[in-house]
């Protein structure tokens, strides 16, 4: 095969043009990560449902806002509609809103409406405890596992085979690290035993990515979104 010779001057021109394009596109590409908007294939999910706790419930769907939710970034990345069924303080085991709300399994409306491409469970952060007489009491491993198994076991019965079910390891900030290890291990084991996709979120909410030791700031929500987008593919 005959090789074509390229002059050094032409090489320099190519590199200069390439560099200029990268500099021009850089801010745009960064904004796409921050806003969550991107061009995606036709095979991307079109409908996403999220059941979760305050790490979902406290946040909004406003691109670029400090409180834009991780789920909003994911949905906008794929151009998908996202429906959330989330309540602060809730979990697999614990009722939300200071023991006056509901648990994940108390939200059958999550299965109504258009069939989701992906069903995501985000939670477990509150399940180190349970509500007893209106107060939080430390839960045993067996109590947590029973609640997680009951809910995750119901998902495949409630959703069609076409829906991908993804279980997020509880996004856990720097507070109560031992409880985080305990609950995360239980959620992971249950997800795997039920043949569901487990998404590891360890390290997403370090000290610089939370506002109060628990809830994500903007950077924390983006980190969670990145993990979910990588898992979805």
Domains and their CATH numbers in the chain: 46-232 (3.40.50.1110)
Q: Please identify which residue in the block is written with the tokens 């429906």.
A: 83
Phi, psi of 52 (to 5 degrees): -160, -170
pLDDT tens, position by position, for the chain (233 residues)? 333 444 445 445 444 444 444 444 444 444 445 555 544 455 689 999 999 999 999 999 999 999 999 999 999 999 999 999 999 999 999 999 999 999 999 999 999 999 999 999 999 999 999 999 999 999 999 999 999 999 999 999 999 999 999 999 999 999 999 999 999 999 999 999 999 999 999 999 999 999 999 999 999 999 999 999 999 99
Q: Residue 203: which residues within 8 A CB-CB, separation 6 or more? A: 223
Quote the CA–CA distance of 92 and 109 in Å, as a whole number: 16
């Amino acid at each position: 095969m005959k090789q074509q010779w390229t002059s050094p001057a032409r090489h320099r021109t190519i590199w200069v043009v390439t560099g200029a394009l990268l500099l021009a596109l850089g801010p745009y590409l960064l904004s796409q990560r921050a806003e969550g908007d991107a061009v995606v294939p036709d095979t991307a999910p079109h409908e996403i449902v999220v059941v979760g706790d305050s790490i979902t419930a406290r946040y909004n769907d406003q691109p670029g806002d400090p409180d834009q939710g991780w789920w909003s970034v994911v949905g906008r990345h794929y151009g998908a509609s996202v429906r959330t069924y989330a309540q602060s303080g809730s979990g697999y085991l614990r009722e939300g809103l200071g023991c006056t709300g509901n648990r994940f399994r108390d939200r059958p409306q999550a299965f109504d409406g258009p069939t989701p491409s992906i069903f995501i469970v985000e939670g477990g952060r509150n399940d180190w405890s349970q509500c007893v007489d209106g107060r939080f009491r430390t839960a045993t491993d067996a109590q947590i596992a029973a609640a997680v198994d009951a809910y995750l076991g119901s998902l495949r019965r409630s959703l069609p085979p076409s829906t991908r079910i993804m279980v997020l390891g509880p996004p856990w900030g720097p507070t109560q690290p031992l409880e985080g290890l305990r609950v995360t291990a239980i959620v992971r084991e249950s997800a795997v035993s039920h043949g569901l996709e487990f998404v590891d979120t360890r390290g997403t909410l370090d000290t610089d990515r939370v506002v109060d030791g628990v809830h994500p700031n903007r950077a924390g929500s983006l980190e969670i979104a990145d993990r979910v987008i990588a898992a979805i593919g």
